[in-house]
Structure 1
Amino acid sequence: MKTTATIFFLAAFSLSATAQSPADYVNPFIGASTSEGAAGIYHGLGKTFPGAATPFGMVQLSPNTITGGDNGSGYSYEHTTIEGFAFTQMSGIGWYGDLGNFLVMPVTGPLQTSAGRRQHPGEGYRSAYSKEEEKASAGYYTVKLTEHNIKAEMTAAPHSGIMRFTFPAHAQSRIQIDLARRVGGTSTWQEVKVIDDRTIAGFMRCTPDGGGWGNGDGKANYTVYFYAQFSKPLKDYGVWSADIPDGWTRKREDIESERYRQQIAKAAVLPGVKEKSGKHLGFYTEFATTEGEAVLMKAGISFVNIEGAKANLEAEINDWNFDRVRQQATALWNQALGKMAVSGGTDEENRVFYTALYHTMLDPRTFSDVDGKYIGGDGKTHATGSFSKRTIFSGWDVFRSQMPLQTIINPRVVNDMINSLVTLADESGKQYLERWEFLNAYSGCMIGNPAVSVITDAWMKGIRKFDEQKAYAYAKNSVEKFGNGTKGYSTGGLSVSLTLEYAYFDWCLGKLAGALGKKEDERTYLARGGNYRNVFDKNKAWFRPRNDDGSWQPWPEEGRMKQGYGTIESSPYQQGWFVPQDVPGMVALMGGKKKVLADLTAFFDEVPENMMWNDYYNHANEPVHHVPFLFNRLGAPWLTQYWTREICRRAYRNSVEGLVGNEDVGQMSAWYVLAASGLHPVCPGSTRYEITSPVFDSVTIALDAKYATGKQFTIGTRNNSPSNRYIRKAWLNGKPYPHCYLDHADIMAGGTLLLEMGDTPNREWGAR
């Protein structure tokens, strides 16, 4: 069996460099803004990070510009100062965020123990930086810190990272590490120890008391262990330790306060201390540098123990060759991104596509060390067998596009994620599946039972290398614990969203039950899939929230357009289209195909040109992501073709503000990858994909031999162009193909779907 390190090394040389490899098109700055002003809504924009990572890697080494606020990635492009460079990040999330641990900062001059405020960078160790000299690519990031005239570079391996700092001539240069730092809060306990004249090790414990995920409501409770080495010997080094009174609370709002900042700024500096533990620690090493001298630092991290962090570093970065590690990271990205090859797009479209594909391969990240060990839901150390333990499952978002995309291009990752969720339910003793898992935390974020959808979708597509009986039992426990209950509908402030989504997940369980031969459960849960009807008010001809006694909640002046009326992050008009398991039943309920088609057409016609947050088709948020493909189900596939091309053009751009909403751990980008390729599901759990108009002349997907009989599947076109966006004819493997949908088995068998494009719709093709 190859070790992770061996695989990493071999991958680095498996692809030869080309002038325009897939990694060359990646622009990690796409979406890297949290600006509420630019977004026009408190949710902000993409909230991605620009730092260095490897595909699904544990280490994501990135600049951080802010600790507090609703800045999940810790970085926003419009900020003018950098606090430091952290080894862990989250991509595209709100709810205050987390990680951002092991914050490293190169500086010159007197030691400062507080980062200081963005408005007054001189009062702390943060630094202004040069936007012109800030650059990022797949696996690499660099910037010039102008306050100290230091060039910072960083690159990553799966469990480790290496940084190169080019200093000016200075008698008091320094690398300092804020061990307490955490996005959206603080780690609550740290320990650090000097191992030898080049090595330190320790850990940072992060608990809900220190804010973080959901400002503590996300229940994040994890420990990051580190093993770090310096290229320059430790001679003048030490620790700083801030006295945090026992009575102080330490949530996001506390650590953002001036009182807290002042307490950190006057931390005790302890030169020469070899070992220290405390509530707010930092470590520093000082040295003189000559002009242009490069000083390197590398570190492995682990969520298990220091020994794991050490083994991770030694397996992946066993020397000081920064450029070699960077080349290996680029090669890993070329291998991963090379699973999809596109042709015929513009440079802009290629950059948007490959960056989107890149963003879909950041999570779910590996959670196990190079030896396969991981920390389980019981807090104990476990070892993986036939799968890699993974974490960060943004369920409510990713079941729609991200996980279906991975069923095609990375089925092993899907299998890993299901195993990870099932083992977590087992180890934690909870015996149900978490909807938004974060480092073993049952955060309960958002609604529904998305893991049930992911498991069902995977099983129906032949991804089955997990304990299906446990998976089924925990899926059943999930829908019984969180569901529409004996009434057949949910009540309260989220009545519509809950009822509709629970009905879909019940249907998913019914499909899984049928596939596993559990006929009674199949009948029960498929029937529950029809519970969406129970919140449809025929008098109002739309979905409406209900009270506990069965009565309807008062109808607002705005009607179904009212945001938050029985819904989450949507209106009934937006949420009401979510009946993917029974589109014919939904259409009949809404008044028939002609009426629904007119209503759905208006739903899109009212969308603003820039497709930013709005009251109609709101691509900035997930509840409507399947809706453009409903035209296929309504006998008007040319409208699916028209609108998906419009969304690809208007909602995705090669710019910092190139995502109209939160990336949400790969979901926003996965939608683009699928739609731009010409395929997207309406109903995960079904093996049907809707065919739409591809952005590219050709898209070729490499298939995994363990899950597919074919080697590759190609979606090709004739006469494709921005104006020729309508499918006139189609052929599957050389034979005329009249349908606007494709089965997963057709893709896995390999072959070619050829689409003839034109500038006017063919209203016959795919309409029946």
Structure 2
Amino acid sequence: MKIKQLKLIRLVVIFTCLSGLMLISCTGSGKPAGDEFSPADLVNPFIGASTSTSAAGVYHGLGKTFPGATTPYGMVQVSPNTITGGDNSPGYSFEHETIEGFAFTQMSGVGWYGDLGNFLVMPTTGPLKTIAGKEDGSISGYRSRYDKGTELAKAGYYSVKLTDYGIRVESSATPRCGILKFTFPENKQSRIQVDLARRVGGTSVEQYVKVVDSTTIQGWMRCTPEGGGWGDGEGKVNYTLYFYARSSKPFEQYGFWSADIPAEWKRKREDVTAIPYLERVASAPLITDVDELHGKHLGFFGEFATLEKEEVTMKVGLSFVDLEGAEKNFNREIADLDFEGVKEQAHRMWNQELSRIKISGGSEDEKTIFYTALYHTMIDPRIFTDVDGRYVGGDGTVHSTGERFTKRTIFSGWDVFRSQFPLQTIINPQLVNDQLNSLITLAEESGREYFERWEIMNAYSGCMIGNPAIPVLADAYVKGIRSYDVEKAFRYAVNSSRRFGNDSLGYTPSTLGISYTLEYAYADWCIARLAEALGKKEEAGEYMKKSQAYRSIFDPEMGWFRPRKEDGSWYPWPETGRTTEWYGSIESNPYQQGWFVPHDVEGMVELMGGRERVLEDLTRFFELTPAHFLWNDYYNHANEPVHFVPFLFNRLNQPWSTQKWTRSICARAYRNEVEGIVGNEDAGQMSAWYVLAASGIHPACPGDTRMEITSPVFERVEFRLDPAHATGDKFTIIAHDNGPDRIYIQRALLNGKEYNKCYIDFNEIARGGVLELFMGEQPNEKWGLE
């Protein structure tokens, strides 16, 4: 569908939902009712809910968020799925015109084909079909068109009308359970059907389902690399998801379908969306004379007659541990709640978490963008433990946290060390402790004894590059977040550097050698910082020396970083020079990746020819960036390698340029619309950058307690601090006389005293207090230079 058509659809949605009034009821944005602070009412889950590559103008697509219902860091996400196949990790894209079901697990904002999308439930009427089919009609199935005008998404709630069946579907969730409510038409053959094989990026390869009684089923789905999933199997994800599901209406009859999948057939992403495979599933025989079934591609259906507007709910408890865990999660979290109770509880949970930051000022769109961004930072890393603290460890056996921490999963390390985890060190240090404990126990239980850079359900997926767990560790430790085995963590950090680092040659020889060498050098600096804090002087010296590896790939002749071969020679310099994507750099170009020496800016500037030359080049880098901030060869905010770059101006004693460009990025790269995130959301990173920058602070080098000060979008931002980790109760940033044309800091006060630094130490934030910024239309080139 063309972009103009999508925009027209959104206008129809808005006017249909609101009758020309505000955007509140349709998207969840707008002011909360009454005087009570309710940030959950400002969340618009449709922001970023697109995988469209045509809208993005690049193969990575846009935000890739899901619009369905979840709770903060919840294990369960009950969300509509519009497509199987492609690079569609959320299973949903706004421009699609049909829904094939409602899955109970979903990834948020990532590429590499995605995973999860399990336990796909669809309400239907009339003759039973065993396959969803394709939106283009090439294979018919149970998928349904839906009325965009009825599609409603809020924090913890989603609803839509399936027009082919005349069924309204609503969803909500608890941390480990989900609920669907169906409002059926009058029909003698209504049903709930479940595709147990469904998986984003492939298929589950083995399933089991048992009818417990006339309202209840339980079972599991096994997902392995042979069935695709994360990286189409390259991500090595291997998990079993257990379920315990109960319908509020007894099944008058029930049964299964079981597709006969030949043993020699491959079952990855493109295999299971190919016509021969779909035809095999479409012709699967129905089985109605047994109460349980085990197979390769199973589905379940339960039928009953319904009256006009009859409501039927399905509650589902999930567990990654075992059947007992799924039932226990069900009984503890959802068994005694009706749909409204679940919905209201989810709303309260979101209000509690989102209230960690309170803003005032800014436009209504900016408030919605802010709280939706904060919402997106609270999807991952998600809960992986059952209510009793049990989880499956890296050795494939069941362990218990012993109430010491919450085991979490989906650590998109290469992305989230930059903004997502620095944000959490301020507002949710316990989450940081949880994540570090999760990485440490995985390293121990798996026997690998090093940190994974991109963890998902215990998998050492190897996705992306660097050693990003190390900066998360170092940043936490220097900020006093230490509820984990520090000595063990340090040992695993050292092991990570030895296994993946610049040790052998002092750089990493590779066609992606710029990215590898710079990222490893920075992680080694983080080890040096940690070693120094732990009193390990010898290791501190060793790793501080290793952090200088970036110098070995700087070519003075070209005046820039360049990948080297193992024999020390350079890879040929491309005709298009520094703007050649993938030359020495992953998902970027040398111009973008080359600024990544956050731990030694002075040394980098010296190599590059001095401050004046670097400022000129850096200014050019931003001025050549297109106004839309979509994927480009210069400041490419759509991807992570450049996310620290706007704050380099602070380090170069030109803080007014940091203020100018962060305000420009906030205004242009984030919008209150479906295409409102210019790149993949990446498990909270893209949104965390906005939350921090729009608040007026952001790190430029995690592992250092220095936080850069920039121009806030809002007049007032209050960070609620954790009394277990901070001596203050809140830290407030006030921007006097702020506005779209008054973006430059003229002067500042910290706790009532004149303040002339363009940065603030994290410890000042943790002590609580007030940072006042006085804004103006023109840069003050004297402020912030101390």
What TM-score do you get using the length of structure 2 for normalisation?
0.95
What does residue 198 of structure 1 align with? Answer: 215
**C-alpha separation in 2, matches of 1:61 and 1:556:** 47
Specify the code of the residue in structure 1 equivalent to 2:488.
Answer: K
> What is the correspondence of 1:21-420 to structure 2 with a 5 Å cutoff?
21-120=38-137, 123-319=140-336, 321-385=338-402, 386-420=404-438
Give the deviation of 1:767 after TM superposition: 2.3
**C-alpha separation in 2, matches of 1:678 and 1:309:** 43
Task: Give yes or no for contact 1:489–1:499 (8 Å, CA) kept in 2.
Answer: yes
**C-alpha separation in 2, matches of 1:20 and 1:257:** 50
Task: Give yes or no for contact 2:746–2:780 (8 Å, CA) kept in 1.
Answer: yes
Q: Deviations over 1:56-111 (max 9, x none)?
A: 01001101111111111111000111110011000000000000000000011111
Task: Give yes or no for contact 1:116–1:126 (8 Å, CA) kept in 2.
Answer: yes
Q: Deviations over 1:681-731 (max 9, x none)?
A: 010000110000000000001000000000000000111111110000001
What does residue 468 of structure 1 align with? Answer: 486
What does residue 769 of structure 2 align with? Answer: 751
Give the deviation of 1:16 after TM superposition: 11
**C-alpha separation in 1, matches of 2:641 and 2:777:** 30
Query: Cα 1:310–1:18, aligned 2, differ >3 Å: closer, same or farther?
Result: farther
SS at match of 1:228: strand
SS at match of 2:281: helix
**C-alpha separation in 1, matches of 2:477 and 2:202:** 39
SS at match of 1:640: helix
Find 2:559's aligned residue among 520, 541, 546: 541
Specify the code of the residue in structure 2 equivalent to 1:192.
Answer: V
**C-alpha separation in 2, matches of 1:517 and 1:718:** 43
Task: Give yes or no for contact 2:511–2:571 (8 Å, CA) kept in 1.
Answer: no
Counting aligned pairs with the same residue, the percent is 64
What does residue 587 of structure 1 align with? Answer: 605
What does residue 6 of structure 2 align with? Answer: none
Indicate whether 1:427 and 2:445 are aligned: yes
Specify the code of the residue in structure 2 equivalent to 1:217.
Answer: E
Q: Deviations over 1:348-404 (max 9, x none)?
A: 000000000000000000100001000101111110021000000000000000011
Q: Which runs of 4+ in 1 moved over 6 A?
A: none
Specify the code of the residue in structure 2 equivalent to 1:720.
Answer: N
Q: Deviations over 1:251-300 (max 9, x none)?
A: 11100100000000001111242100000000100111111001110010
Give the deviation of 1:121 after TM superposition: 7.9
What does residue 5 of structure 1 align with? Answer: none
Count of residue pairs the alignment pairs up: 754
Find 1:566's aligned residue among 566, 580, 584: 584
Task: Give yes or no for contact 2:56–2:630 (8 Å, CA) kept in 1.
Answer: yes
Task: Give yes or no for contact 1:170–1:290 (8 Å, CA) kept in 2.
Answer: yes
> What is the correspondence of 1:608-757 to structure 2 with a 5 Å cutoff?
608-757=626-775
Specify the code of the residue in structure 2 equivalent to 1:418.
Answer: L
Task: Give yes or no for contact 1:121–1:127 (8 Å, CA) kept in 2.
Answer: no
SS at match of 2:745: strand
Task: Give yes or no for contact 1:564–1:570 (8 Å, CA) kept in 2.
Answer: yes
| 275-284 vs 117-126, which moves further | 117-126
What does residue 554 of structure 1 align with? Answer: 572
**C-alpha separation in 2, matches of 1:337 and 1:412:** 15
SS at match of 2:567: coil
Give the deviation of 1:196 after TM superposition: 1.5
**C-alpha separation in 2, matches of 1:511 and 1:118:** 54
SS at match of 1:324: helix
For structure 2, the 5+ residue unaligned runs are 1-31
For structure 1, the 5+ residue unaligned runs are 1-14
Specify the code of the residue in structure 1 equivalent to 2:423.
Answer: L
**C-alpha separation in 2, matches of 1:653 and 1:76:** 17
Task: Give yes or no for contact 1:543–1:572 (8 Å, CA) kept in 2.
Answer: yes
**C-alpha separation in 2, matches of 1:273 and 1:352:** 51
What does residue 461 of structure 2 align with? Answer: 443
SS at match of 1:23: helix
Give the deviation of 1:320 after TM superposition: 5.1
Specify the code of the residue in structure 2 equivalent to 1:318.
Answer: A
**C-alpha separation in 2, matches of 1:48 and 1:267:** 33
Task: Give yes or no for contact 1:236–1:272 (8 Å, CA) kept in 2.
Answer: no
Q: Deviations over 1:186-245 (max 9, x none)?
A: 000000001112111000000000000000000000000000000011220011100000
Task: Give yes or no for contact 1:717–1:754 (8 Å, CA) kept in 2.
Answer: yes
SS at match of 2:149: coil
Give the deviation of 1:486 after TM superposition: 2.4
**C-alpha separation in 2, matches of 1:90 and 1:321:** 26
Find 1:531's aligned residue among 508, 525, 549: 549
Task: Give yes or no for contact 1:489–1:534 (8 Å, CA) kept in 2.
Answer: yes
Specify the code of the residue in structure 2 equivalent to 1:93.
Answer: V
| 46-55 vs 231-240, which moves further | 231-240
**C-alpha separation in 1, matches of 2:156 and 2:44:** 11
**C-alpha separation in 2, matches of 1:704 and 1:608:** 40
What does residue 12 of structure 1 align with? Answer: none
Give the deviation of 1:128 after TM superposition: 0.6
Indicate whether 1:576 and 2:557 are aligned: no
SS at match of 1:192: strand
SS at match of 1:132: helix
**C-alpha separation in 1, matches of 2:345 and 2:661:** 39
Specify the code of the residue in structure 1 equivalent to 2:763.
Answer: A
Task: Give yes or no for contact 1:81–1:121 (8 Å, CA) kept in 2.
Answer: no
SS at match of 1:715: strand
Give the deviation of 1:319 after TM superposition: 2.9
CA-based RMSD of the aligned residues comes to 1.1
What does residue 508 of structure 2 align with? Answer: 490
Task: Give yes or no for contact 1:237–1:272 (8 Å, CA) kept in 2.
Answer: no
**C-alpha separation in 1, matches of 2:782 and 2:603:** 24
**C-alpha separation in 2, matches of 1:238 and 1:74:** 26
Indicate whether 1:481 and 2:499 are aligned: yes
SS at match of 1:529: helix
Query: Cα 1:627–1:147, aligned 2, differ >3 Å: closer, same or farther?
Result: same
Query: Cα 1:559–1:122, aligned 2, differ >3 Å: closer, same or farther?
Result: closer
Specify the code of the residue in structure 1 equivalent to 2:752.
Answer: G
